[in-house]
Amino acid sequence: MLTRKQLELLELIDTRMKRDGVPPSFDEMKDALNLRSKSGIHRLITALEERGFIRRLAHRARAIEVVRMPEALEKRVPEVIEGGAPAPAPAAQPARAMPVHEVHALELPVMGRIAAGTPIEAISEVSRHVAVPGSMLGGKGEHYALEVRGDSMIEAGIHDGDIVVIREQTTADNGDIVVALVEGQEATLKRFRRQRGMIALEAANPAYETRVLRDDQVAVQGRLVGLIRSY
């Protein structure tokens, strides 16, 4: 239910309240979360309040009360494939009970489906949430998830029905697998390459052709940072 930044801020406020009895200042929050301005903190505070995790008390400076913390995630842990690479075959285990270790996880919104094939209309509404290991979100920035439809990226280890984890960004390096919005109408998951002022969106399946478009026809909306597959 919470984004990475929202959870980081909630944990910061809760820790400081328990330690000092007062929440951190907005400047302290901004520095702790590596944000450029306090307006980002205002948005995060508002989102936490709307979701019922904190309460702001009127007519008192720095008066924030933590109402509740997120419940522990008890869902099964999905197979995680870092960077979209195929997962290695699991090693054989002896036939005995194995200890279960807690896995730090966050919930990301699944923003709909993304085409790994012929581009489909972009979808921006949250359809559900998915638990994602925190280790997959090591970098800064906001993240979201998309369900893959199609097989054009199958040789990159991305299959139909997989959930891809995307870090929001508007730039990409050659070779990155990105969410690309084409002419403002259709979204696709492809490998990004810039060639002499043109953008090539490459498939990872020889059955699909590379699309070459003008720079102004392609908007990068995020980069692939991980993949989740359920069996």
Q: Is 17 part of a structural domain of the chain?
A: yes
Whether 46 and 119 share a structural domain: no
Q: What is the CATH number of the domain that holds 135?
A: 2.10.109.10
Last residue in a domain, options 20, 37, 66:
66
Q: Is 52 part of a structural domain of the chain?
A: yes
> Which residues touch 96 (CB under 8 Å, ≥6 apart)?
none
Structural domain count of the chain = 2
What is the residue type of 123? I
Read off the pLDDT of residues 43-82 as tens digits, 9 standing for 90 and up: 888 888 877 888 877 655 567 888 888 764 334 344 444 4
- What is the predicted pLDDT for the residue at 68? 84
From 30, 38, 152, 230, the catalytic residue:
152
Last residue in a domain, options 66, 95, 112:
66
- 0.75 surpassed by pTM: no
Q: What is the CATH number of the domain that holds 45?
A: 1.10.10.10
Place of tokens 């008890």: 74
What's the average model confidence in pLDDT over 6-16? 86
Q: Is 99 part of a structural domain of the chain?
A: no
- Range name among 29-38, 108-117, 141-150, 208-217 with the lowest pLDDT average: 108-117
Whether 192 and 117 share a structural domain: yes
Whether 199 and 113 share a structural domain: yes
Query: Predicted confidence band at 140 (pLDDT cuts at 50, 70, 90)?
Result: low
Q: Using the predicted structure, report yes or no on whether residue 141 has a pLDDT greater than 60.
A: yes
Query: Predicted confidence band at 212 (pLDDT cuts at 50, 70, 90)?
Result: very high
Q: Catalytic annotation on 39?
A: no
Q: Is 117 part of a structural domain of the chain?
A: yes
Q: Is 185 part of a structural domain of the chain?
A: yes
Residues, the chain = 231
Place of tokens 């090693």: 91
Q: Is 158 part of a structural domain of the chain?
A: yes
| Structure-block tokens of residue 73 | 């995630």
Whether 108 and 58 share a structural domain: no
Place of tokens 């979204």: 187
Read off the pLDDT of residues 71-117 as tens digits, 9 standing for 90 and up: 643 343 444 444 444 444 445 444 343 343 444 556 666 666 665 54
Q: Is 98 part of a structural domain of the chain?
A: no
Whether 200 and 143 share a structural domain: yes
- What is the predicted pLDDT for the residue at 217? 92
Q: CA-to-CA distance for 113 and 146, rounded, in angstroms?
A: 5
What's the average model confidence in pLDDT over 36-42? 82
What is the residue type of 216? D
- What is the predicted pLDDT for the residue at 105? 59
From 18, 37, 75, 190, the catalytic residue:
190
What's the average model confidence in pLDDT over 130-138? 66
- Give the percent of the chain with pLDDT over 70: 66
- What is the predicted pLDDT for the residue at 95? 38
Identify the domain containing residue 49 by its residue range. 4-66
Whether 46 and 118 share a structural domain: no
Q: Catalytic annotation on 190?
A: yes
Q: At what angle do helices 4-20 and 38-50 cross, to 10 degrees?
A: 90
Whether 57 and 123 share a structural domain: no
Whether 34 and 141 share a structural domain: no
- What is the predicted pLDDT for the residue at 128? 67
Q: Is 183 part of a structural domain of the chain?
A: yes
